[in-house]
Amino acid sequence: MSFVEYGDTIKDGDTAIVFLGHESMFPVKVQQGTVTQTKYGVIRHSTDLIGKKYGSKVTCSKGGWVFILHPTPELWTMNLPHRTQILYSTDISIITMMLELKPGSIVCESGTGSGSLSHALIRTVAPTGHLYTVEFHQQRAEKAREEFREHGVEHLVTVTNQDVCKNGFGVSNIADAVFLDIPSPWEAIGHAKSALKPEGGRICSFSPCIEQVQRTCLAMEEHGFTEINTLEILLRVYNVRTISLQIPDLGKAAEDNSSAGFDSSNPSNQGSPSANLQQGTVQFKSSVPLREMVGHTGYLTFATKS
């Protein structure tokens, strides 16, 4: 199993996603002789998972069933253990596009955090690219290395435990893009410039507060970055539902026709809507936004090394 390569069957040691419903799923590490408890009963790894195909419908001990899904960066973002606040697919999608990432790209990232963006970056630059990710917190860095190894992507990523604001990324003039998600990104702009390739590299900084954005933009200008642009992505979800509405009663057609001198023999009155209108209900699809929505997550500031 690898997050960048699809495997047909579930193997011992794989990370799989147990899907109970669109609002209920969780990751599980498949191990011989282990069981996993769900609200539908027990899943026995040895007999119910190992050797089965990904996407299989597995019946639990109480008679209920679940699906076992192959892990992807999108599913991992929704189910990963949170060691820090994470980036979600809404921001991740615009980051990978605006940084112009593709297979073979070299990317520097700080900080690693829970690895949500890291997995998406690795999948984007695979199979020949590389991610250099820096994490200040030692335990989080060690946990990230362990997860990358378990997920079969350790050859595509280098995890470094150091302060990027003081020591940089550990590489020079090779990165196609740099991503910063740290409290004081303006202190790392110089190191980001050193890590980027001599010309044309892209940088992105994620900050929740506009004051951080202001200082970061000033630092980018001081270091000669151009095309500085800040944007905010807001996600608004709509629910599609079926609505039944009653057709309005506009009065009996016969009475309306007689009172108005309606002549059914007159060809001009044939097919009149009032002559064919019948009271009843009509169904149609309608979409409405949720009453509550995820609002501000953070500001994304992009720039180009000139």
- The pairing of strands 35-38 and 41-44 is antiparallel
Q: Burial of 224 by CB count in 10 Å (0-12 exposed, 13-18 middle, 19+ buried)?
A: exposed
| Helical segments of the chain, H only | 73-79, 89-98, 116-125, 138-150, 164-167, 189-195, 210-222, 253-259, 273-276
Contacting residues for 30 by C-beta, under 8 A, at least 6 apart: 10, 11, 12, 13, 14, 15, 16, 45, 49, 50
Q: Please indicate if the annotation marks 117 as binding a ligand.
A: yes
Q: Do the annotations mark residue 8 as ligand-binding?
A: no
Q: Any known ligand binding at 116?
A: yes
User: 118 among the known binding-site residues?
Assistant: no
Residue 51 labeled ligand binder: no
Q: Is position 187 annotated in a ligand binding site?
A: no
Amino acid (one-letter) located at 115: G
Residue 172 assigned to a binding site: no
Distance CA 107, CA 99 (A): 9
Going by the annotation, the residues of the binding site for S-adenosyl-L-methionine are: 114-117, 135, 163, 181
Going by the annotation, the residues of the binding site are: 114-117, 135, 163, 181
